[in-house]
Structures are given as C-alpha cells and as structure tokens.
Structure 1
Amino acid sequence: MGCDIWSYAEVRTGGGWRWARNLFPDRADENDRDEVFPDFDYRLFGFLADVRNYSRSPVIASPRGLPGDVSLEVRVEHDAWGRDVHHASWLTLAELLGYDYDQVFWDRRVTRDGDGAALAAEGEGAHLTLRDFLGRRYFDRLAALSGLGDPADVRIVFWFDN
C-alpha cells in the first residue's frame, strides 16, 4: 500500500494563521496548486517525519501533530481524511531554511533484482549530501515559500495517508 503526503502553507497574520492558497498557480493539475509537496516521494517523507524512511536519511523533526492554531481551512482538509491520517506535523520556513543540507549521510536504500527496494549492506548504497538527496524541486518549493513573508511567520502543515 502506498503513502501520500498532504502539505499546505500557512502565513501568520495579526489574527492567527491563514492558508496560503494557490501558491503554485502554474501547476497543470488544479488540485496541486495549493499543496507545497504534492509528489509521491519517500525521500521527502523520510526527511520531514521519518515516514517510509527506507534510505535512513536524517529527519528534520519528529512529528508534532496538527498545530492547535491551524487555520480552519487546513483543519477541514485534515479532518476529511478521518482515521487514514497519520504523522501530522508542521515546520516553519525558518526551520526548513536553517537546516544543514550539506551534511553527508549514507543512503541505505538500494534496489535488488527480484526484491525491489532493500536496505543496503556494508559497501552498498551511496554517501551523499542531503541537498543532493532531496533534489532541486524541494529547494524550488522553499524559494516559493520565501515569497510569502518572514520565514518565522510561514509554515507548512502536513500529514500522510495510506
């Protein structure tokens, strides 16, 4: 069974947090225009919340749950998933921008004929920076979030479903 991420940007205003809608208006799929990370990417899932972390990458933070002050619209999106939701969390843009992406780690995920994905044995896998592991699209999305305001006042709220 696959796993998907649902991720939304919020901006802090004088009245609390508001959902930053239509963040990516040029996306062909209208449903993806509001999501920060619409892709099925286990590398990203592992880094954000240790979900499907087959590579054993560093994890930016343990899941924190849905923020108590989440915007009403994002809460409605979350609650619509019912019991299928897991590993809800949030991260500020300041946390995302301030992380050390140049650290090198051992990517333990390998593919073996007949087995598919497997955990690398000593001498297998690859040593690479987290920056290379996450790829350009991840950093392009952080750049888009940077246009929303002060990094301490911008956050992503996300969760997963199976």
Structure 2
Amino acid sequence: MGCDIHLHVEKKIDGKWTPILGVNEPEVEYLENTIADIKERGDKVDYWERRLEEERNGTANFIYDGRHYLLFSLLAGVRNEYDLKPICEPKGLPVDVSDEVKANSDELGIDGHSHTWLTARELVEFDWSQTVEQEGWVSEKEYKVFKEKVRPESWSGGVGGGRVRHVSNTEMNRILKNGYPWENDDSFYTLVKWTLPYSEIVGSFYTWSIPKMTELAGDDLESVRIVFWFDN
C-alpha cells in the first residue's frame, strides 16, 4: 500500500501561527506544458485546466505534494528502507498549531500517522550533502549509461521472468565488448550500485521548496514551518 504526505505551511503573524496558501511555480509550469502537449495531440484538457486553475489560485500543500519515500525518510523516518537518520523524529502536532490545520488532521482520524513539523531553520541547517548508496538492476542499454555517467537513468528493484538472466558486472562488460548474444533471446540484467547526495535525490524539494520557505521566512527562519503527517 502506498504512503502519502499531507503538508501545510504555517507562518507566525502577530504572534499567532496562521496557515498560508501559495503557488508552486514548478507545478504550474509542468501543467502548462502538459496542457500544451495535450492540445497539440487534439485531446481534451478540461481536467488539466481545472488543476492549473487550482494551482494558480494557491494551495495549502504548495511546498510539496508528491510521493517520494526517501524524502519521507529524511523528513520523519517514514518508509525508511535505507535506514537514514531523519532531520527529526516525529514530534506530533505543534501545541500551538492553527485551528485549520488541526481540523484537517482530525478529519483524517486514525488513518493519519507520524504527525510532525519542521521550521525553515531546521530544513536550511540540515546537511543535505550527506549521501546514500542506491542499487538496482539494469539492462545492457542502461548499463552503458551507468558506465558513462556513474549512475543509471532508470533501473528496477527486481526483475525476473523465463528469459531473464542475471549476470555479474564482469559478464555484462563482456557482452558490451563482444556484442549481444541474440541467438538465445535472453534478456540480460546486472546489479549496479551508485551514490548520490540527499540534495540531488530529493530534487525540487531542495532546489525550490526550501528556498521558498526561506523567502517566506525573511529574516526569521523560525517564523515559517511545515506541519505534516502521512497516511497509507
């Protein structure tokens, strides 16, 4: 079963935490490009245009509304298959949480879990240069990419089937050198490992979400926070 995040942004205004709406510019750009592509194909765009209008009007979860388990691991230790140390273990809802955010949490009831919050300061001061080792099975084509870029562009956690053969990196190197043994119709896969910094793995959360938090906070990084929880 999948796991999703429910995230809200609060800003301290006149001493009181207040939920704020915002616009996720990368998401707006993505939707605009998607609509353009769909129109070019001659298909309907009603659904996508409604989504675009909602985003442009501002949403509560504008800082982040995706499903990224490694990010969840770093934010709260949720779905932590790599056993990473999170920024902070779940703290529960803030004692001074806004009424609106509390109501959203209550609405989900027992289906919500790992409630917590992080300030802009906590996000900024976390060491995003730390690395994590990843691994995956790649085909001959993706193994070429791996050798060139020291990481694959796509991979599988596991691959199987009657014509699948798992080979060592040495054997895959031999296949690349001597040519693909087409005569037996097998598909060859090899296991590769690579290392990436957290900042690169979490993508736009690092390049857009955190800078947006600091922009909202201004001179006081303690004045803006994300309040969030998860459901499976």
The TM-score range, normalised by the shorter chain, is 0.7 to 0.9
Q: Who wins on radius of gyration, i.e. which is larger?
A: 2
Task: Please state how far the C-alpha of 1:159 moved relative to its aligned partner.
Answer: 0.1
Q: How many Å separate the matches in 2 of 1:7 and 1:62? A: 16
Q: Runs of 4+ in structure 1 displaced over 6 angstroms? A: none
List alignment gaps of at least 5 residues for structure 1: 115-122
Q: How many Å separate the matches in 2 of 1:108 and 1:49? A: 23
Instruction: Show the counterpart of 2:64.
Output: 37
- The question of 1:20 aligning with 2:66 is answered no
1:22 corresponds to which letter in structure 2? G
Q: How many Å separate the matches in 2 of 1:23 and 1:6? A: 16
Instruction: Show the counterpart of 2:225.
Output: 155
Q: CA RMSD in A?
A: 2.4
**Kept after mapping to 2: 8 A contact 1:66/1:89:** yes
SS in structure 1 opposite 2:124? helix
Task: Please state how far the C-alpha of 1:56 moved relative to its aligned partner.
Answer: 3.0
Structure number with the higher strand fraction is 1
Q: How many Å separate the matches in 2 of 1:136 and 1:11? A: 21
Instruction: Show the counterpart of 1:139.
Output: 207
Instruction: Show the counterpart of 1:111.
Output: 157
Q: 1:17 to 1:71 in 2, by over 3 A?
A: same
Number of residue pairs matched by the alignment: 155
Q: How many Å separate the matches in 1 of 2:205 and 2:86? A: 18
Q: How many Å separate the matches in 2 of 1:23 and 1:88? A: 24
SS in structure 2 opposite 1:37? coil
List alignment gaps of at least 5 residues for structure 2: 32-50, 137-155, 161-190
Instruction: Show the counterpart of 2:140.
Output: none
Instruction: Show the counterpart of 2:109.
Output: 82
Task: Please state how far the C-alpha of 1:75 moved relative to its aligned partner.
Answer: 0.6
TM-score normalised over the length of structure 1 = 0.84
- Percent of aligned pairs with the same residue? 34
Structure number with the higher helix fraction is 2
